[in-house]
Amino acid sequence: MCGSDKKLGEIRALILVGGYGTRLRPLTLSRPKPLVEFANKPILMHQIEALVEAGVTQVILAVSYRADDMEKELTEQVSKLGVSLTFSHETEPLGTAGPLALARDLLATSPEPFFVLNSDVICDFPFKELAKYHKSHGKEGTIVVTKVEEPSKYGVVVYKEDGQIERFIEKPQEFISNKINAGMYILNPSVLSRIELRPMSIEKEVFPFMALDGQLYAMELQGFWMDVGQPKDFLTGMCLYLNSLRQKNSDKLHDGAGVVGNVLIDPTATIGKGCRIGPNVTIGPNVVIEDGACIKRSTILRGACVRQHAWLDGCIVGWRSVVGRWVRMENCTVLGEDVIVKDELYINGGQVLPHKSIALSVPEPQIIM
């Protein structure tokens, strides 16, 4: 028993962090995307914790830029979990497959399969089941697939009843399948022989050939899934995540007067009198919500302040930002770090860059430099 646990413990994981996270700007102008808090925890920590849960002891982060702060902060947080963190730096962006070739030495040290995942994915991570299923069919790779409502926007996966993938179809015009690649895989080290050290797409240049060889299987994800790489999806993902928390672990969610639906509030945050918070709100550490504010479907990041009688729906309020009294913000408004929105303004879909003071309303969606 002890022996098999140890063996599982040798599993490694590679997370494709990639570039600057431009899609999540203006937040990522202040903080690398993996460190942006999703439901009060850096996005990457959701994944690393789930990997650790599944027995992973070495995590390799494939990054295409240097961010010493991120490396220091992540190494610190991750060491508490008893897992080692290695950074694999790309000198040029290598796509979704190239980073595996770059980390070949790390990944090929053991015959055990390794996990690969895209860094923007949030779901109920199924790593244990994935490893188990992968072992059971004995082929080179398994990818996690998830069901979507509108498959024509994605590449869909067609597979047999036993899970063996037949083909991939990019943006199908007619309905063929509603399963898409969820951005999580487990691969045997033998797959590395299919990958070259150059910019290469794992979805287009590796998986179709594995499928042709009958070496690729699909495992369907249970529960929610979201790529939270852009603000709109970040908020949708948060709603799904909070809902999932409610179903399995509701004591993390906040209850009490003025709280509606699923709401996550850091214990160091303060909430004023007569507020209405929720549904689907995350409030970070040291946040101050003053009296009479109403917040729905929003994330308020660390140290921000929402002043009296403000009304927020569908917003991300950046670190240490201040939302003035009687301000109305809606429609996917994102405030970068340390933004000040003056009293009584209306912000409709504004994307506000860090350290900006806003003194005029933004009635139509726009970027405020």
Least CB distance to another protein at residue 306 (A): 12
Least CB distance to another protein at residue 316 (A): 19
Candidate list 72, 160, 171, 273, residue with the active-site label: 171
Residues 6+ apart with CB under 8 A from 310: 290, 293, 294, 295, 323, 324, 325, 326, 327, 328, 329
- Note the residues at the interface with another protein (CB under 8 A): 274, 276, 291-292, 294, 308-309, 311, 313, 325-326, 328, 344, 346, 363
Q: Is 147 a catalytic residue?
A: no
Nearer to another protein, 30 or 298 (CB): 298
Least CB distance to another protein at residue 294 (A): 5
Nearer to another protein, 302 or 328 (CB): 328
Nearer to another protein, 228 or 293 (CB): 293
Least CB distance to another protein at residue 246 (A): 23
Nearer to another protein, 35 or 271 (CB): 271
Least CB distance to another protein at residue 292 (A): 4
Nearer to another protein, 214 or 274 (CB): 274
Residues 6+ apart with CB under 8 A from 157: 143, 145, 165, 168, 177, 179, 180, 181, 218
Catalytically annotated residues: 171
